[in-house]
Structure 1
Amino acid sequence: MWLGEESPEALMELLNDRHSPWAPQPGCSPQDQRLREMAVLTPELVCGSNIFQAFRSLRIVGKRVEEVDEGLLQLRQLEELILSANQISRITSANLPRALKVLELCCNAVADLQDLCAQPPPELQHLGLGYNRLCGPLQDKHLTADFWPNLVSLDLSFNNFTDLLGLVSQLSSLQKLRVLVLQGNPLALIPTYRGFLVDSLPKLSILDDIHIGPDERHQFHGLARQSELIRSEARVVVSVGEIKGVPDPSTLQQLEVGSEAPVITYSYCVTYEFAEGDEIENDGSAEVTKIHQSPMVATLDVDSSAQDTRAVEGQWEPAAMEKPKAHSAKVFVTPGKPWADTINCSYRKEHTVKDLVGLKSYLMSGTTVSVTEEKVSVWQSCMKEERAAKRPSSGIVFPLGGSLGCW
């Protein structure tokens, strides 16, 4: 030790003293603390290129990263790489450390897995590809044990996979797979989606963040052998029960006795938009009108805090979070009902949609539901004239004068 040089013990005290300028900042990661201690106790390990051997985890989130180059190979001992919410469209596996066990690419713009599967890390256990731009069947072939023999967890949520049978046939080769996330894909709209996956992948423990228990296994037993039940279509039931809170229209009519004012009748209906498809059931004659829905948020909104946007206002906006595409929709109208404190619509319609990608776009963009009031007015003078017209005079029936107004 040179004269005036602090001992390792004294330096460690400075690191651990929260009043010291060398103390770790609040929220310091364990890895940061470990590097500080290594610089004190074994400084030779953090000199030059030796420091790269100390890294086991690297997290770069929301930094607009577009490419992973060969510089990452210096981190030979890296086991966890988190690159969420960037702008990566392609990632070359030759640039990934071979010791990698966790690769998270959520919220990027990955549309092709070919480069990633050229020389994938052989020990990878988790692959996160949620909120990207993947679609089958071209990408299905890259999700097999030939590329990922040790994969335990796979996240493919919120992409555009539509071929349930084709995807399952590839995933079945992943013998170590225990956790699978597919929610947010168009194929997840198929009615038999969960049951077919549970029975087709008997070693799976968690599907879409829900544990698979013995009762569920028994419930769906044998479904995997009935592939004829797997149809690429979704069925959605829309029901409208009761409407409450509509003001009494009679209180709005302040008519003077003997005044010339119309007699108004009121009726109420519900209109809503739905993606174009085949309507199987309709309890009531609903008028249908074709429209083209623009990709805008609906006026009837839900709590936006419940939406998994994975972004905070003023921070990063991942490339994969695209605006929903425009979709073709129809407007449906329930039968009109007279006013009451509780208006009972008793409406039910089952929609069958074969365009799963279009249905997903429709669901993500939101819809508009409206309560419509229809007023029909008849002027009292018209009613008097009508009554006079119906009173026979010399065997002649006079035609009805006046008109009906609706607004």
Structure 2
Amino acid sequence: MSSNTLSAVLEKQIRHLCLTDFPCGDGSWRKTKDSPDAAETEETDSLLDLLSCPHSPWRHDVSWSPQAPALRKLAVLSPDGLHTDFIYNYFTTLHIVDKGVSVIDKGLLRFSKLKELVLSANKISEIPSENLPSTLKILELRANLLSALTSLTRPPPPHLQYLSLSSNSLGHHEDISNLTGRHWPQLVCLDLSDCEFQDQKALLSALSTLTCLKTLVLEGNPFTLAPSYPGLTVDSLPQLSCLDTSWISPEERRCFQGLAKMSDLIVDHASATVSVRRMKGIPDPSMSADENAPEFPVVTYNYFIAYEFLSHHIPVNLEADSESKFDTAHVTNDGSSDADQQSKNCEIEASKQDNGVLIVNTQETCHAAAHVSRHSTSKVTWSEFMDFSDTQKYIVSDLGGLKKFLNQGLYLRIEEEKVLSWPAASEDIPVAKPSRTVKEKKGGKGKESPIKSGSTKDKSKDKKKKSVPELVQDAPIRRSLGSVHIPLQSLVKGDHKVDILCDLGALCTETEVEATLTLEKDLGKKVKEDKKTEDKESKRRGGSGTRQKNTASSKGKGKKDREVDVHTDNSVSTQLEPVTVEFSVELEKWQSASDAHQHLLPHQTSQG
């Protein structure tokens, strides 16, 4: 596909102004003093009205430049003076947004008085500075395909005061070296938001040479997830007045005073605290128990919450009595690990989409991933309010990987663990554990096993001598009750905490699920039987039209009755209380230089 040059797009925009066509230009439609009165001529004021009237067919889009409407007026008032050079020199501001521009060519130099150039949301991968007018003061390149700044600084526009590089793949050390006062001596405002800068100290060292810099936007970069941001930036750049669209107050500057002197001790890593608190809305499993069920097996239910989070170390459990399980999957950033293992890890992550866990969609994402810790809270028995009080602290040094993880969000899952317990075989209780059917394994019900009769007889004979029999547990049967996706993008955008009440909707009990499956199975059998009966009757009676009609009506009636039955049965579950889980993720942020000193003191002591 041929490249779409900037000059070609600008020429097209200028042609759309129709500067030589009606109602602009010097044509026969213009009424002058010397011309005779004719129905085809218009007054100058009428022609101007046609340019601005909301319902006029000659009113064109001129939002791409504030000089465009003024140029059209000039084309009506004095069309003789609109030669080509005048038109190019008339423009001082150009906004070419989302026009598919991929190349900035030399044609832009014809706009010799251009001061503001906005090229956001295009497909530009390189900015050759020799093709930029030296008069530029404002340059916006947000959301393009830039991956380097070398071509822009050979040399850059000398009078540039505002530069926006937001939402580009910038963040290499070469990019940092091209953001110094030597290249941008008059730069007042710089927007680097949503880029990929990770080395905070190196970037701040370069930006400190921009003596005129007053406004800086850095949110959305990986290093802003570290505890030292924004404090280290505020103290390292005393000339700043505004950071991330917020004014820096004198009190804030006093709080972080001295933090820049501690920069040698600061390591860019993120510390995230993930908390799972109370859950409610789970139906009571004992309410669906059969009163006529045998004494054994004894069925117990436990519940826990599972999720995945990014980490480079084993998470620190902040609750002494909390039981947790971690299963860490590692994929190297440079792809140096075994290729088969990487492919396997990618397939495992991709296959978990239906289970509500972290989704890793591509091989590239797997290469960029760090350690994904799969954590489960402690198991608790059923209650109306189940308090897990589970708090985990994750230390992440791969800030780029953490940014991708937070933009993707995580899945929180509710798991149920069902355990069947049987009396242990002994000399006093010679009981052989029977083999159970699939139905008995699922619900612990079915035909009464010989364990009950044997154990009750022994109880009646040796009631005084024998205590409660020792129980042996089967392997737990686990099932996922539901999952919910938790968006975490706001943490990348500058928020410190996401505190959310996860709503998973109403959940059915295990018995209700089995009952629904049984009902659907029975309905399916009944439909097949009705169909067979109808086929036999139609063959035997020769396919009478009236009887076929009656049969069809009765069939429709039966179908309607079945639909009513299913609706009535499902109405019970819709009345259940929704299941909710209290969940939060908080990034550690230093509130002052003394706060940072308390966190860095153990590190300083260990270094000494």
Smaller-chain TM-score range? 0.7 to 0.9
In structure 2, relative to structure 1, the CA distance for the partners of 1:152 and 1:360 (3 Å cut) is same
Question: Which sections of structure 1, spanning at least 5 residues, go unmatched?
Answer: 302-321
Contact 2:421–2:472 (CA<8 Å) still a contact in 1? no
Instruction: Tell me how far apart the structure 1 counterparts of residues 292 and 353 of structure 2 sit (CA, whole Å).
Output: 48
Alpha-carbon spacing, 1:67–1:229, altered in 2? closer, same or farther (3 Å): same
2:161 corresponds, among 100, 122, 125, to 125
Inter-CA distance 201–25: structure 2 relative to 1 (3 Å threshold): closer
SS at match of 1:134: coil
Match of 1:135 in 2: 171
Deviation at 1:12, TM superposition (A): 2.9
Retained in 2: the 8 A contact 1:233–1:352? yes
1:271 and 2:306 matched = yes
Q: Is the 2:215–2:242 Cα contact (8 Å) retained in structure 1?
A: yes
CA contact (8 A) 2:65 2:95 kept: no
Paired AA for residue 35 in structure 2: L
Partner of 1:208: 244
Partner of 1:225: 261
User: How many angstroms apart in 1 are the aligned matches of 2:312 and 2:56?
Assistant: 68
Distance in 1 (alpha carbons) for counterparts of 2:317 and 2:471: 42
Please state if 1:290 is matched with 2:328. Answer: yes
Match of 1:311 in 2: none
Matching residue within 148, 154, 162 for 2:190: 154
Checking the alignment, whether the CA contact within 8 Å between 2:64 and 2:95 is kept in structure 1 is no
1:1-400 alignment to 2 at 5 Å?
3=35, 8-18=44-54, 20-23=56-59, 30-253=66-289, 255-259=290-294, 262-278=297-313, 279-283=315-319, 284-291=322-329, 292=345, 294=349, 325-326=365-366, 327-328=369-370, 329-378=372-421
Give the residue type in structure 2 aligned to 1:362: F
| Preserved CA contact (<8 Å) 1:377 1:404 | yes
Deviations 1:4-36 (A, max 9, x none): 675644533443555554345697964332121
Alignment partners' CA distance in 1, 2:355 and 2:160: 45
Counterpart residue type for residue 368 of structure 1? Y
Q: How far apart are the structure 2 equivalents of 1:297 and 1:107?
A: 29
- Distance in 1 (alpha carbons) for counterparts of 2:374 and 2:98: 40
Tell me, in whole angstroms, the C-alpha distance in 1 between the residues paired with 2:150 and 2:63: 38
- State the distance in 1 between where 2:57 and 2:452 align: 92
The structure with the largest helix share of the pair is: 2
The one-letter code sitting in structure 2 at the alignment partner of 1:404 is: D
Deviation (angstroms), 1:94: 0.8
**1:289/1:28 CA distance change after superposition, 3 Å:** closer
Distance in 2, matches of 1:150 and 1:219, equals 29
Q: Is there any run of 5+ residues in structure 2 with no aligned partner, and where?
A: 1-31, 330-344, 423-443, 478-608
Q: What SS does the corresponding residue of 2:305 show, helix, strand or coil? A: strand
Describe the SS at the equivalent of 2:153. Answer: coil
Decide whether the 8 Å contact of 1:200 with 1:224 is kept in 2: yes
Native 8 Å contact 2:65 2:94 kept in 1: no
Once the two structures are TM-superposed, the CA of residue 289 in structure 1 deviates from its matched residue by 0.8
Question: How many residue pairs align between the two structures?
Answer: 383
Structure label with greater radius of gyration? 2
Structure 1 residues 190 and 213, CA gap change in structure 2 (3 angstroms): same
CA contact (8 A) 1:386 1:400 kept: no
What residue number does 2:476 align with? 406
Q: Please state whether the residue corresponding to 2:240 is helix, strand or coil.
A: coil
Q: Root-mean-square deviation (CA), in Å?
A: 3.3
Deviation at residue 151 of structure 1 after TM alignment: 1.1
User: What amino acid is aligned across from residue 393 of structure 2 in structure 1?
Assistant: E
What letter matches 2:182 in structure 1?
D
Residues 49-93 of structure 1, C-alpha deviations (whole Å, 9 max, x = no match): 321111122122222221111111111111111111111111101
Q: Deviations over 1:90-113 (max 9, x none)?
A: 110111111111111111111110
Matched with 2:575 is none
Which string of whole-angstrom CA distances, capped at 9 and with x for unpartnered residues, describes residues 186-214 of structure 1? 11111012000001111212212222111
Aligned mates of 1:121, 1:143 — CA distance in 2: 13
Given the two structures, how large is their TM-score scaled by the length of structure 2? 0.57
Query: Residue type matched to 1:377 in 2?
Result: L
1:43 counterpart letter in structure 2: P
